[in-house]
Amino acid sequence: MSEAISQGFIDDYDVNAIRADFPILSELVHGKPLCFLDNGASAQKPQAVIDAIADTYKHCYANVHRGAYAFSEQTTANYEAAREIVRAFLNANSEKEVIFTGNATGAMNLVAHSFGRGLLKEGDEVIISAMEHHSNIVPWQMLRDEKGVELTVAPISDDGTFLLEEFKSMLSEKTKLVAITHVSNVLGSVVPLQEVVEAAHAVGAKVMVDGSQAVMHMPVDVQDLDVDFYIFTGHKLYGPTGIGVLYGKEDLLDKMPPFMGGGDMIASVSYEKSTWAELPAKFEAGTPQIVQAIGLGAAIDYVQSVGLERIAAHEQRLLNYATQRLCAVDGLRLIGTATNKTSVLSFVMDGTHPHDIATIVDRKGVCIRAGHHCAEPLMDRMGVSGTSRASLAMYNTMEEIDTLATALEKVREIFG
């Protein structure tokens, strides 16, 4: 995005109008205005999402795909309309390529089970990166221990940059899957996905991307990226909890065995054998996340009404300002300073535990995260036991950054 275009998006961005769409932002915490900066963990919900969920429960709730009566037909239509919203959001080729899951962790485990256990064999290699969430580490360790699949870790630099050339040198014919984050939940580093996908495909490997920290910050076009799998979760995208998405290329999903067995994922059942339903039902056993999917559709509609490019420009301006303000706090050190990064600021302060920092700033109404952020191996790589983390969203303001910085200066006063 050019500087001129970015400035135009910023000038046209009414953050106060956006904040008015989020009822919780008017709440007080310890008598102070809520300053919510833990969006990387879970974002707040606009009224449109709250209404979509409440309206479904109040006016037309029923189970989907089964009932031949008006409520079931209406809810089924709304549920499948949400799938189309997700398809268009990712620019997937077909609704068959959009699988609803309980969360991103469930989607990654689906791939590990159905692709990993179904199609990989002993000696095949899975490559992850050094900045993965536990959800993109543990399933592959389980697969390694069960099937003898090799698990290899691609390195990052001291500032959190993904080392593309080192990654390329690791690829070989035994590499069958690259499972990698799009944006680090700790560092904010953005992985150069197109180059990663091109290099992986050159050796015949498939690519699964964890986009949980990406889709709320930038447009994602799965066809343009040519990824084989793309995963995200609803609750970080201003939608409800309990809903995740797995995008997979149709021909690949067709080859994979089901993850779970039960109702709705079958074509027929007898005591002798069962046959599977067509996509996407094949991977959606049991009663699905009905209202959560409808809420996710409303969240995506809301985000797109604002515009991801406009959101990205606003958040980049916030990130630049926050980087400047936090670096001015005595004894504070940012963890993750890659050139290409998005709206995450992890930091440590001399002589102060991250949990103490989070507890003190909470008294000022500021919500930040503290700990290892489900990324213990990354903490080891960066030489820290944990960090405090401020993660930005479309509704955050410069004034909130000032509130955070002032609260951190108070922490400095307390701990010297």
Q: Are strands 35-36 and 366-367 parallel, antiparallel or unpaired?
A: parallel
Residue indicated by tokens 């009224």: 47
pLDDT tens per residue across span 81-122: 999 999 999 999 999 999 999 999 999 999 999 999 999 999
Residue 38 belongs to a domain: no
pLDDT tens per residue across span 149-168: 999 999 999 999 999 999 99
Please tell me which residue in 60, 327, 367, 374 is annotated as part of the active site: 374
Q: How many residues does the chain have?
A: 416
Do residues 218 and 83 both lie within one domain? yes
Do residues 212 and 225 both lie within one domain? yes
What per-residue confidence (pLDDT) applies to 10?
Answer: 59
Q: Tell which residue, 307, 199, 6, has the closest CA to residue 191.
A: 199
Answer whether residue 136 shows pLDDT above 60: yes
Average pLDDT, rounded, for the chain: 96
- Select from 279, 304, 329 the last residue of a domain: 304
Do residues 132 and 268 both lie within one domain? yes
Residue 61 belongs to a domain: yes
- Select from 304, 336, 363 the last residue of a domain: 304
Do residues 165 and 269 both lie within one domain? yes
CATH number at residue 262: 3.40.640.10
What per-residue confidence (pLDDT) applies to 376?
Answer: 97
User: What is the tally of structural domains in the chain?
Assistant: 2
Do residues 349 and 392 both lie within one domain? yes
The pair of structure tokens assigned to 68 is 């031949």
pLDDT tens per residue across span 166-216: 999 999 999 999 999 999 999 999 999 999 999 999 999 999 999 999 999
Per the annotation, the verdict on 35 as an active-site residue is no
Do residues 353 and 372 both lie within one domain? yes
Do residues 226 and 244 both lie within one domain? yes
Residue 86 belongs to a domain: yes
CA distances from 380 to 65, 375, 386, 387 (A): 47, 9, 9, 11
Q: What percent of the chain has pLDDT over 70?
A: 97
Do residues 328 and 270 both lie within one domain? no
- Select from 278, 304, 330 the last residue of a domain: 304
Q: Can you give the three-state secondary structure of the chain, one letter per residue?
A: CCHHHHHHHHHCCCHHHHHHCCHHHHCEECCEECEECECCCCCCCCHHHHHHHHHHHHHHCCCCCCCCCHHHHHHHHHHHHHHHHHHHHHCCCCHHHEEEECCHHHHHHHHHHHHHHHHCCCCCEEEEECCCCHHHCHHHHHHHHHHCCEEEEECECCCCCECHHHHHHHCCCCEEEEEEECECCCCCEECCHHHHHHHHHHCCCEEEEECCCCCCCCCCCHHHHCCCEEEEECHHHCCCCCCEEEEECHHHHHHCCCCCCCCCCEEEECCCCEEECCCCHHHCCCCCCHHHHHHHHHHHHHHHHHCHHHHHHHHHHHHHHHHHHHHCCCCEEEECCCCCECCEEEEEECCECHHHHHHHHHCCCEECEEECCCCHHHHHHHCCCCEEEEECCCCCCHHHHHHHHHHHHHHHHHHC
Average pLDDT over residues 385-402: 98
- Give the separation between CA 188 and CA 329, rounded to whole angstroms: 20
Residue 44 belongs to a domain: no
416 pLDDT band, cuts 50/70/90, is confident
Determine the straight-line distance between the first and last CA of the chain, rounded to whole angstroms.
42
CATH number at residue 400: 3.90.1150.10
Answer whether residue 123 shows pLDDT above 80: yes
Ramachandran category for residue 59: left, alpha or beta (phi over 0 → left; psi -120 to 50 → alpha): alpha
Do residues 286 and 349 both lie within one domain? no
Answer yes or no: are the C-beta atoms of 26 and 338 closer than 8 Å: no
Answer whether residue 6 shows pLDDT above 90: no
259 pLDDT band, cuts 50/70/90, is very high
The pair of structure tokens assigned to 19 is 């904040």
Do residues 342 and 288 both lie within one domain? no
- Give the separation between CA 83 and CA 262, rounded to whole angstroms: 21
Answer whether residue 9 shows pLDDT above 60: no
The pair of structure tokens assigned to 228 is 């084989």
- Sheet with 244-248, strands from edge to edge, namely 98-101, 244-248, 229-233, 206-210, 175-181, 125-129, 150-154
Do residues 159 and 290 both lie within one domain? yes
What per-residue confidence (pLDDT) applies to 2?
Answer: 44
Do residues 190 and 137 both lie within one domain? yes
Give me the domain span that covers residue 28.
3-33+307-415
